[in-house]
Amino acid sequence: MAEPTLSALDPEIARLIKEENKREHETLRLIASENYASRAVMEATGSCLTNKYSEGYAKKRYYEGQESIDQIEELAISRLKTLFGAEHVNVQPYSGSPANLAVYLAFCKPGDTIMGLGLPFGGHLTHGHSVSITGMYFKSVPYGVRKEDCRIDMEEVRKLAKEHRPKLLWAGTTAYPRTLDFAAFRSIADEVGAVLAADIAHISGLVATGVHPSPVGIADVVTSTTHKTFRGPRGGMIFTKKEHAAAIDKAVFPGLQGGPHNHTTAGIAVAALEAQAPEYKVYTQNIVDNAKALGEALVARGFSVVTGGTDNHLLLIDLTNKNVPGKVASKALARAGMVANYNAVPFDPRKPFDPSGLRLGTPAVTSRKMGKDVMLKLADWMDEIVSAPEDEAKIARVAGEVRDLCASYPAPGIVV
Ligand code: DSN
């Protein structure tokens, strides 16, 4: 007898997946860290590779039956080496946080001093925030941004680094709209003898094509997720210089993880192939052009855009002048089909769970081939909703208009 399909076996889960598919089709995905993986990436991740254990690395595994797995992992690595110009790549981290933990394990001992951009200024939890293991097991000295322009102040980073002599210095962000000066971070790390780690989770797609400068070859180690601008499956990757290859590999396995997720590795390999195509470079440039256009349109409508605009894929909006808290705005926008996230802004007087800001990203709408005309429409809709976040009639009308728009822009990987 044939095996039952998902909907025959588990109609509840099948229905929920169908609903999520519909939601992803009918709404505008504006969460800066999200994207749509292609059908080919999804096919690889939904394959039999999920069945296989393969602790170790290619040709040095602890289980038999690795004929295909070794080739898949080697292909992922060689494609990424070419794409990023890296000496060594590890594709086994389960995601960005485990990749970052591997950096700590490879280079630090508990109690060492580390420095990263503070979470309230756009840094990541794993760059030493107090509630993360990285802020508990290490002495974290966060740096911030300048009050006047909300940009990272490299002189402040230098001053703090000279005072605290960190073992590890992070250059990486999750809610920062400007270009990172990796060379300046390198010179500071050299001055104080720190290991320089760049976390390019948000921007790795832009880095792959040169739309954002690359830290590969500058930083000692570079970490990334694989599902944001890079548009692969949900996973992690680490690039490092040859001299640190063994330490990083050992930290990932056996230091932190057991068997790698081979279905994810295959998806990463497919995404790396997609990223080598000339149209991917155009795509990544379009992400930035769209973010700039959306930022300009929002400024023209009286929104306060942190730093005045963006150099990358994201925008941080301070809603204080609109007298609407970030959470109220993001919930109303979501009801209107524009799905973003509320976010703290630098020097936010409000609490992290109820902050003043909104974070917007253009990677996913750009994957749907939406261009500047849509960004202007989006700014109009946002203006309407943020000005009246409790007007349910208006919200329902906009949600309908968003649905109509989405019908003309199929999302990669989404079956309609
Ligand atoms: N959760 C991711 C983001 O939204 O930026 C970072 O890990």
Residue 361 and residue 256: Cα distance in Å, rounded?
Answer: 31
264 vs 37: CA distance, rounded Å:
12
| pLDDT at 60 (0 to 100) | 97
**Domains of the chain with CATH codes:** 44-275 (3.40.640.10), 286-407 (3.90.1150.10)
- Pick from 34, 117, 124, 342 the residue to mutate for probing ligand 1's pocket: most ligand atoms within 8 Å of its CB: 124
In this predicted structure, the answer to whether residue 416 has a pLDDT above a threshold of 90 is no
Q: Considering only CA atoms, which residue is closest to atom 2 of ligand 1?
A: 33
* Mean pLDDT computed over every residue of the chain: 98
User: What would the pLDDT profile of 363-404 be if each residue is shown by its tens digit?
Assistant: 999 999 999 999 999 999 999 999 999 999 999 999 999 999
Handedness of CA 292, 297, 298, 304 (dihedral sign): positive
- pLDDT tens digits for 26-54? 999 999 999 999 999 999 999 999 999 99
Residue nearest to atom 1 of ligand 1 (CA): 33
Report the helix count and the strand count for the chain, using DSSP H and E: 16, 15
29 as an active site residue: the answer is no
The span from the CA of 49 to the CA of 46, in Å, is 8
Measured between alpha carbons, how far is 146 from 122 in angstroms, rounded to an integer? 12
Minimal CA–CA distance to 144: which of 116, 170, 169, 166?
Answer: 116
- The average pLDDT across 5-15 equals 98
Most informative mutation of 174, 199, 226, 315 for ligand 1 (most atoms within 8 A of CB) = 174
pTM for the complete prediction? 0.97
- Amino acid 127: pLDDT: 98
What is the per-residue pLDDT for 334?
Answer: 98
Around ligand 1, the residues with Cβ closer than 6 Å are 33, 96, 124, 174
What is the enclosing helix (H) or strand (E) of 238? strand 236-240
pLDDT tens digits, one per residue of 116-158: 999 999 999 999 999 999 999 999 999 999 999 999 999 999 9
Please write the tens of the pLDDT for every residue from 330-343.
999 999 999 999 99
- What's the mean pLDDT in 256-285? 98
For residues 175 and 344, give the distance between their C-alpha atoms in angstroms, rounded to a whole number: 9
Residue with CA at minimum distance from ligand 1 atom 6: 174
Q: Which numbered atom of ligand 1 lies nearest the CA of 175?
A: 5
Residue 1 has pLDDT above 90, yes or no: no
Dihedral sign, Cα of residue 106, residue 110, residue 116, residue 119: positive
Report the separation in Å between the CA atom of 32 and the middle of ligand 1, taken as the mean of its atom positions. Answer: 8
Confidence of residue 74 (pLDDT cuts 50, 70, 90): very high
Catalytic residue flag (residue 149): no
Question: Catalytic pick from 225, 240, 307, 362?
Answer: 225
pLDDT band at 413 (very low <50, low <70, confident <90, very high): very high
